[in-house]
Chains A and B, each alone.
Chain A
Amino acid sequence: MARNSIMNKLYNGGPLFLLYYLCISEIDTNLEKVFEIFTLNFQIILIYFWVIKRPDIMANGHIFLAGLINDVVMGFPLGLSSLSYLIIIFVGTYVRNKSVNTTIASDWFTFLLAMIFSNLLFFSLLNNFSDLMFSFTKIGYNIFFTLFMFPVFWLLFNIYQTTFMTNRDA
């Protein structure tokens, strides 16, 4: 019984651990070496999915902290990634409050909105308050591939949720 409880806690903590690990480690989802234009923002897919499906396992404070760590590692002004992640949480929570049943299509569409708001804020602040230059083409590719890959990760996370995680009401 106790063993089961520990395993459940580990499985439930998996997405949060993955978020922290992606932010703090060298592992990146910039796969330009594989395919020249292929980059995606995996963190926001991860956050959006779990905020919609299981907000109890991804606390806002943790996401905020992960954003700060991401800024330090990537060399962005502090608080920028946190703000962008908080926009994702906000849209995700709003969608969850307004909808009863969600499908992959509805989640995909609302994810596009969340990503647009989040990236708009991120690059507006970066453009106006830092000296960093960035390519709009690259941002376009990044948004496209993040959106394109969302259903794939949606299915993978769904499998993870149904296979390993306990029901929140249990």
Chain B
Amino acid sequence: MSVSRDDFSIAFRSALLQRGGAQKFSVLSLTFLALVIFFIDIYGPKITKPVRAFINDVVYRITYLASTPTRVFPKAGDTISSYMNIREENKRLKAEIEKYKSLELDVEFLADENKNLQKILETEYFNKNLTNIVLAKVLVDKDSPFLKSIIINKGTKNGVLKGMPVTMDNYLVGRIVETNYLSSRVLLLNDLNSRIPVTLDKGAQAILSGSGLTNPILEYLPEDFDTVEGLSVFASGKDGIFTSGTPIGKTNSKGTVNLFVDPNQLSFVTVNLNIQNQGKL
């Protein structure tokens, strides 16, 4: 019995303290170091934040370079297939141009009407301050089962601050949750930690909550509200972060929301610098 206990303690100690050969550091010393780094990162003084931001910037750039093959090869395949289908695509595009020409007049009329209605309602027209919108490239789009986020190539150097809304083609994508000097992390709408006040077509108010899956869900809807397919979902702007009326997506038959922008297909996004500058957050 005592022999087996000795065996256990020897194996245990050896696993914790063993060094030599390829192992320059013992598990125990590295565990201690990891704990120190962990607690400094969480409770550390303010001086550690710029250090962490610098490390983030460097690692994100390396990640971007290291991920080049994963971006280049699928694009090369797309380019080849697009050359093969160029004739058919030309035909289709011509037909589409004709269709859009006829729609253009309608759009112009509706845009004017929309502007006038927004003036009456005294809400912000979300394209009003285009000078304060920054275009950013997605550096890293690493999918994780626990955190849905992307890294963009604009940081505090460009005026990006925590909490700023991020859009793509005027559709809401998420918000800034971490800023470094040259890069920032955007929390996507489908992340489990994302909560956004929204308005539905019928005027109902709700909270759009990320589910960790592709489609976020609607919470806190009115009790008698019947969610039907095809209802448009907009940011309500009640939190003072997101511009009211920014389109987000449409409801589907499952009661979740199909986002207008696929969170897995982001390459360029825009950051609205106005909100934080106005001190609304």
CB within 8 Å of B: which residues of A? 21, 24-28, 30, 32-33, 36, 39, 55-61, 64, 67-69, 72-80, 82-83, 86, 89-91, 93-94, 97-98, 125, 129-135, 138-139, 141-142
Contact = CB atoms under 8 A, between A and B. Distances in A.
Given A56-B22, A132-B193, A135-B212, A94 B12 contact: yes
B52 interface: yes
A27 B67 contact: yes
28 contacts: A24-B59, A25-B63, A26-B63, A26-B66, A26-B71, A27-B70, A32-B214, A59-B24, A61-B24, A61-B25, A64-B30, A75-B149, A78-B37, A78-B38, A78-B52, A78-B55, A79-B33, A79-B34, A83-B35, A83-B38, A86-B34, A90-B27, A93-B14, A98-B11, A125-B38, A132-B146, A134-B212, A135-B146
Nearest to A68: B37
B15 A64 contact: no
A103 B237 CA distance: 59
B27 A93 contact: yes
B56 A72 contact: yes
A70 to B, nearest CB: 10
A136 to B, nearest CB: 11
Measured as residues with beta carbon below 8 angstroms from the partner, the interface class of chain B is 35 or more
Contacts of A39: 145
Given A30-B144, A55-B22, A61-B30, A75 B178 contact: yes
A95 B192 CA distance: 37
A60 B23 contact: yes
Nearest to A74: B144
B67 A133 contact: no
B223 interface: no
Contact of A79 (B8, B23, B37): B37
Contact of B66 (A24, A77, A83, A142): A24
Contact of A26 (B25, B26, B67): B67
Contacts, number: 147
Contacts of A141: 145
Interface stretch (B111-119, B125-133, B135-143, B155-163): B135-143
B219 to A, nearest CB: 14
A75 to B, nearest CB: 6
Contacts of A133: 192-193
B16 A90 contact: yes
B11 A94 contact: yes
Interface in B171-219: 178, 185, 192-193, 212-214
A79 B145 contact: no
A43 B37 CA distance: 21
Interface string B25-67: 1110011011111101110000000001001100110110011
Closest 7 CB pairs of A and B: A79-B38, A26-B67, A79-B37, A93-B15, A39-B145, A97-B11, A94-B15
Nearest to A82: B34
Nearest to B56: A72
Could you say which of B36, B71, B145 has the most chain A C-beta atoms within 10 Å of its C-beta?
A: B145
A79 B15 contact: no
B222 interface: no
A23 to B, nearest CB: 9
Given A93-B18, A94-B12, A130-B42, A59 B23 contact: yes
Contacts of A139: 146
Contacts of B16: 90
B123 interface: no
Nearest to B41: A78
Nearest to B16: A90
A142 B145 contact: yes
B21 interface: yes
Nearest to A62: B22
A141 B36 CA distance: 31
Contacts of A98: 7-8, 11
B264 interface: yes
Nearest to B147: A75
B227 to A, nearest CB: 21
